Chains A and B, each alone.
Chain A
Amino acid sequence: MSIRNIFPIIVLSLCISCNDFLDIRPTGKIIAETGAEYRALLTYVYKNIPEDRGLSSLRSDEFDLINSINEYDYTSYFDIWAWNDLSRQDGTSSWGWRGYYHTIYIANYVIEHQHEITQATRSEIDQMVGEAYMLRAYMHFLLVNLYADAYTACDPATTRGIPLQLQADVEQVLRCSSVEAVYKSILDDIESARKHLNVERWDEGYTYRFNTISADALKARVALYMGRWQEAFDAAETVLTAYPDLEDMNLSTSTLPTHYKSVESIVALEQVMTANVQALESVSASLLAAYRSGDLRKSKYFKAKTLSVWILRKGGTNEQRCSFRSGEFYLIAAETANELNRPDIAADYLKRLMQKRYTEKKYTEYASAIDTMTKEELRTEILNERRCELAFEGHRWYDLRRTGQPELTKTYKNKAGETTTYTLDEGDSRYSIMFPTEAVEANPEIEIWN
């Protein structure tokens, strides 16, 4: 009968150990507490920033699609390229939406929880908070430029922008803010970021993170898009003081300026051209024609496969990550100085860039031409230089949007030999992308404006 006595003892001892028995930490699951863990939260969103700037390249005049395109690419990209927004085929690549807002969520989360972060110095925490403000500003900036009218092409105060997300709260149902309100928030965030950022230069391998100067870099681009020339100029100058170096393409040792190790690299975050988009073998003829003789960039950026088919060397790998680089700021400084009626300064910045991009002989020829240009001519010159310099870096579509939204035409010859022409009218509403269907389905209120 001794079993009768043992039995309750066994049960009792088991009860005591039950809490241990239930203490199971699920493999890999974690609630962020330490500085390193908050950093890992940020790393995840840095890694997953939508690469829509590369997709927007298809929509601009940088690609001519040809019928040797494989069916997967055709399905994914054709209707984006041909502006067929209202009759997209199934499987068309989608523009990001939740991806941006997920990044914003984590940014908001870091901002809201900054006082709870453990095992990190004040400056480490500040830096992460600064980066969070930068991420929030940059994501809103990308969204408003993808989905709403260009700031300079509308009345920003009364034009529908995008939903502005400033809280980490899953219970909110947002409506759109005006374009002006979105830009104001972006500028505010940049200022908040400036107060927190304290890492001037990241070590190699971490340069995808925002550093102190990136606040000015983003400020310069945002102000440029708003047509606030003085602010843009000032910010661009500040950037160039810190990052004046350019790749000299006359040297055989120069790398692609989009390479993360390039001397021009300021923030090596976005890959811009995903491997799939980069592999489309169809650099547009008009872009190729924009490169004048002696332009070293043509062979640096592209490679001729046949006489008419040129393929892209830029992008496509994680070595070529580039969100901000010095080259862009020479062009911003030049463009804004010209608008501010300072042709001398404009010409100076432009020439400093051109010197590194053209053969010596051709540089001398083109540089002297610049000195005699009118303001209009110089503007055209700068924009053309911008098109050549920043080709396939996710700038062209936005430049088209903010500089008059010109008429574009594209033709496609199918395998049966039939040619179809597609036209984007001047100021066409398709210069802004429709909200993604899944976003409207998840929150129809974003379509409501006034």
Chain B
Amino acid sequence: MKKLLYILLFLSVGLHLSAQSRTIIGQVFDGESSNEPIAGAIISLQKSDKTIVSGTMTDDKGLFSITVNDDIKTLVVSFMGYATQHIAIKGDNNKYTIVLQLLSNEMDEVVVTGYQKIERRKLTAAVSSIDISEEKVGAVKNIDQALAGQVAGLSAVSSSGAPGAPVKIRIRGTASINGTQDPLWVLDGIPLEGTDIPSMEDLKDIDEIYQTSIAGLNPADIENITVLKDAAATAIYGARAANGVIVITTRKGKAGKAQINFSAKLTCNPKTDISRLNLLNSAEKVDLELGLLSQNYSYREHKGYVSSILSSMGQLDTYKTGGWEALTPDAQAAINNLRATETDWNDILFRPVVNQEYYLSLSGGTDKASYYTSLGYYDEQGNVKGVDNNRFNITLKTDYQINKYLSVGASIFANQRKQNSYLTDYNGFTNPVYYSRLANPYMQPYDENGNYIYDTNVQGKETSSLAFNIFEERENTSNRRTDRSFMAVFDAALRATDYLKFTTQAGLQLDGYTLDRYAGENSYAMRKEKLFAEYLVDGEKKTILPDGGMHKVNENHTFQWTWKAMAEYSQRFRKIHAVEAMAGMELRHIEAETLYTAAYGYDPRTLTTQPIIFPSENIAESYPLHQETFTENAYVSWFATASYSLKDRYTVGGSIRFDGSDVFGVAKKYRYLPLYSVSALWRIKEESFLRDVEAIDNLAVRASYGLQGNIDKQTSPYLIGILDKTTILPGNIEDEIETETAPNPSLRWEKTQNVNVGFDFSVLDRAINLTVDYYYRRSTDLIGMKMLPLETGFSSTTINWASMTNKGVEIALATRNIYTKSFTWTTNINIGINQNKVLQETVAENATYPSRQGYPVGAIFAYKTAGLDEEGYPLYLTADGQAVSATEFFKLNSAGASTLTAEEQRNLYTYMGTTDPKISGGFINNFEWRNWQLGINLVFNFGMKVRVTPSYNPTTYDRGLNTNRDILDAWSPTNTGGKFPRLMNAGTRAPEYVQYSEYNLYSMLDMWVKKSNYMRCQSIRLGYKFEGKWLEKLRVKSASLSLEGRNLFVISSNYDNFLDPETMGNPYAQPIPKSIIFGVNVNF
């Protein structure tokens, strides 16, 4: 390999030279970390006949001194993990400074796939690898956050800014619809369970505290992440790898002196600012309510403070007929008082926070054994008061070489996480982010005596007697999740001969969490629960729940074990033929248990509960106090890979895997699914015509083809039921079989074919590295959910509904723009361009939403509107360009239902765009100057559309709630120039009213589809490394400080009325916080 040599000092030393031998002195530095000296680097000597003799090692300061004979022409300087350098001994120069470069971009590098370690020069697959360091990824709390913008073709989107919220990761677009779209995570060779993010169909689900098992890993324990993208890389993982694989390699102890590393971080998140939401202020809201009354808008007429003031004074009709002037001065004063009251919900619901994070590790070893131990703790407070998350980690790793043949290793990862949040409610308004949008600006949470003022407007009901106050709720309810996770990995390797190696690995993963929800007696949640539990008991209507609070607990335990065994064979024949083969098997078994208990009459001081006296069996049935589930799954797989390389230039490889799993109600022959891949690599650089071209360091072309597949285990050709017990007539318990899953005899395997072509290119001493991949994935017989006509007796079933393609280009460009002793500037650009197209989609005969055939899978369709008519109702644009009313457009009958066939209804839609970014990626710059380091990390997503929640609904705008200023621009008899549709009354244009109120029509209008393009400044980080004698006196090896700003700004297409372009589609999501992080790192 091309050597990198920087000789920066040429000091002639006036030593007397003897003709036979001379003494050479020098110092070896680490090129990666600002020229720290390397201790223990090996200096060997090469004779003129290329034979090598052993030399010496560098000391603590990286210094060496060696006496050489005349026939020694070259020094060979090596250190594990660094590129070996050959340094020619020149003339009379006896002092050398040698800078070793890390191996990261070298062809000797090894890529860890989880099953194998493959030399990069034989790698035929599309794989990206990142070394995890704080300089590189910034101060991330969770490892999934670290991946944003780092890998071409990998998109990472935060769905919520809540502490500990998972990041949605997609590799090369979306390949499956029904199944999981999340990649497979592998930790030191063992696939992790519990990494899928549940699909959040209801936007409010974002409120549920949720964490994947990834959140339990401490980023500081991670050394490297490898992302496997094409079939050649993932086929070995089988069916679960259809969405790509993320392989995590954790840190290990290195041979040498014990190292103690300590780091601490302080994160400040300023208060969330909701001014972007553009909400009405008190004066505007009062005027709106007055306006609605004079317009006779009847929906929930008695809501809002204006209406209740007028009602209580008996002047509601007076106002409606006579207007403002007709009101008594008292009424006018009361309403003016509302105008003057302004509550800053932003100020009282949100807070600035300071978070802490600590990490301590101890590592080291000898050539026989190594160890790594770490402790980590972090505590994150949310900007929403009462929301927080913390994590405590312990990691222990040991590797031991027993003898020449046998080596073993064991690691343990344990962590505990605690999350606190608010208690969620079906209506969503206990969520402070959502409540801040709904609460009236003239409403106050406390009266002058400090007592709660209850908000009865917010409940989305015509009459609401239940008292709600968000501060009382926060005080008297809690929602806690505690996760405990334990993982152990044991491995053993037996090197039978130089060519044959047996390895085995066993992994255990034990994840458990407790979700603990409590509501005190004085809380809205409890009042509601009691109200719902009202029954006639002995002719009296009363709640069956005892006095006191409630306590509901969910326990969830998952236990998986994986065991795999492999035989690896590797041999070179006649120096030019290299053969590698591996075969093995894997067993996996998973058990999951859940337990739910509910208790009422709960007293948190005594932890006691009261029994419920159920008046009847039916009522008792609707209050299950104890529920359990148990599921068990097993998998058996066989796999093999083989590769053959000729002259290190041409490599061909292949892999195959049979995945077997337990499936109920399916013939046994369907248990095993074969998956395979074939691939090839041509290293053009090694050809004779390029070998001697100094400028080019690497040029290689790769190609692969593979087949992946999946089957839906929930669907069976038979009617499968769940056995249960029930009581129809009193005292008579019978067996019942619940049959709510529709059978489907025609379900087939889902298959994805993958083609990948790519090249790697680097020039000018690796100053420019370019990797480009083109991929084409064709998925056929995709399994998806189909809505069934309810007359079938079922609401949905799973069918093979579609085929689609994902094709795209990934470009990863790494450049070293400036490289001098004191200043370095490097740039990484990752771009993923993905084009998704649904080739064929079986649209159910009954579907009213169009087929995506010919469009991307994330296609958004909407009704084209053409402004408003003379009554302020939306006009629709027909295919032939006419603007017509909804009645005409949908051919509505008197009940407000369309009389068009489903197909005709589908054709009314127009394609608007796709929810998936067309281009996404990252732009990362690193600058190093003396001891300073500056990193700027930008991520971007372009070309998306998002369907947002309408600002207000014209039929069901509830005047008891606040809204954004769009409503001021609604059409009204007095504002005929208004841009948005009028507020409609039930009596007029009844069929259209039904469409807007009962059906989902309004949110399907084109005006609620917005463009979304953004570039986020993920991180700006400034680091400083201390240097000087004083460090040594303190026995400190190295120390550094850093200051980082995360998520400081975002450049985006218009996102007015929304907090953040990323969370635009969801009004319940907590915004992604801005933060400033101060960090200290000390090495002893």
Contacts and interface: CB of A to CB of B under 8 A. Distances in A.
B632 interface: yes
Contact of A173 (B302, B634, B845, B955): B845
B956 interface: yes
B788 interface: yes
B1011 to A, nearest CB: 28
A165 interface: yes
Given A22-B662, A28-B724, A74 B792 contact: no
A294 B787 CA distance: 56
A170 B797 contact: yes
Contact of A447 (B494, B632, B893): B893
Given A19-B668, A75-B462, A163-B791, A87 B986 contact: yes
Given A31-B718, A276-B535, A447-B898, 13 more contacts: A4-B496, A18-B660, A30-B720, A40-B721, A75-B461, A86-B990, A89-B462, A97-B790, A105-B793, A105-B794, A279-B536, A434-B897, A444-B897
A442 B735 CA distance: 32
A72 to B, nearest CB: 6
Contacts of B494: 3
- A-B residue pairs, 4 tightest by C-beta: A105-B793, A205-B732, A443-B789, A87-B986
Interface stretch (B471-479, B738-746, B876-884): B738-746
Interface string B443-457: 000000000000000
Contact of A87 (B464, B616, B718, B997): B997
A444 B901 contact: yes
Nearest to B584: A11
Contacts of A90: 460, 956
B723 A40 contact: yes
A271 interface: yes
A279 B535 contact: yes
Nearest to A429: B894
A101 B793 contact: yes
A49 B658 CA distance: 46
A363 interface: no
B891 to A, nearest CB: 10
A173 B789 contact: yes
Contact of A104 (B464, B664, B793): B793
B116 interface: no
B661 interface: yes
B671 interface: yes
A210 interface: no
13 contacts: A1-B496, A18-B660, A21-B587, A30-B737, A31-B665, A31-B719, A44-B724, A86-B896, A97-B790, A106-B739, A207-B729, A260-B729, A279-B535
Interface string A18-59: 110111111111111000110111011011000000000000
A191 to B, nearest CB: 23
Interface string B607-621: 000000001111100
A284 interface: no
B538 to A, nearest CB: 10
B735 A279 contact: no
Interface in A345-392: none
Contact of A11 (B585, B589, B664, B956): B585
A72 B736 contact: no
A445 B902 contact: yes
A239 to B, nearest CB: 21
B461 A43 contact: no
Contact of A442 (B788, B894, B896, B899): B788
B661 to A, nearest CB: 7
Q: How large is the interface on A (under 10, 10 to 19, 20 to 34, 35 or more residues)?
A: 35 or more
Contact of A32 (B719, B787, B845): B719
B550 to A, nearest CB: 17
A23 B668 CA distance: 10
Interface in A255-302: 260, 268, 271, 275-276, 278-279, 281
A87 to B, nearest CB: 4
B328 interface: no
A276 B986 CA distance: 28
Nearest to A174: B791
B728 A27 contact: no
Contact of B722 (A28, A67, A279, A313): A28
Interface in A400-450: 414-416, 429, 434-435, 437-448
A260 B730 CA distance: 9
Interface residues of B, number: 104
Contacts of A142: none
Given A11-B565, A24-B634, A71 B723 contact: no
A109 interface: yes
A405 B986 CA distance: 25
A316 B534 CA distance: 12
B934 to A, nearest CB: 53
Contacts of B726: 43-44, 47
A153 interface: no
A39 B735 CA distance: 8
Contacts of A23: 662
B1078 interface: no
Contacts of B569: none
B1054 interface: no
B956 A30 contact: no
Nearest to B496: A4
A163 B789 CA distance: 11
A205 B894 CA distance: 47
Contact of A102 (B716, B743, B794): B794
Interface in B887-945: 893-902, 905
Given A28-B722, A71-B464, A101 B791 contact: yes
B502 A86 contact: no
Contacts of A86: 895-896, 986, 990, 993-994
Nearest to A91: B461
A14 interface: yes
B258 interface: no
A275 B619 contact: yes
Given A37-B737, A44-B736, A46-B728, A170 B464 contact: no
A117 interface: no
A172 B735 contact: no
B91 interface: no
A415 B463 contact: yes
A317 interface: yes
A414 B897 CA distance: 31
Nearest to A21: B634
Contacts of A71: 459, 461-466, 531
Contact of A44 (B463, B737, B789): B737
A188 interface: no
Contacts of B900: 444
B14 interface: no
B1028 interface: no
A37 to B, nearest CB: 6
A172 B618 contact: no
B998 A268 contact: no
B539 interface: yes
A207 to B, nearest CB: 7
A172 B792 contact: yes
Contact of B502 (A7, A311, A435, A446): A7
B793 A30 contact: no
B727 interface: yes
Nearest to A41: B737
In the complex, which of the residues B615, B722, B791, B998 has the most CB atoms of chain A within 10 Å of its own CB atom? B791
A86 B988 CA distance: 11
Nearest to B787: A442
Contact of A275 (B618, B671, B716): B618
B616 A275 contact: yes
Contact of B719 (A4, A75, A109, A442): A109
A228 interface: no
Contacts of B897: 434-435, 440, 444, 447
Given A170-B743, A416-B302, A98 B790 contact: yes
B51 interface: no
B790 A438 contact: yes
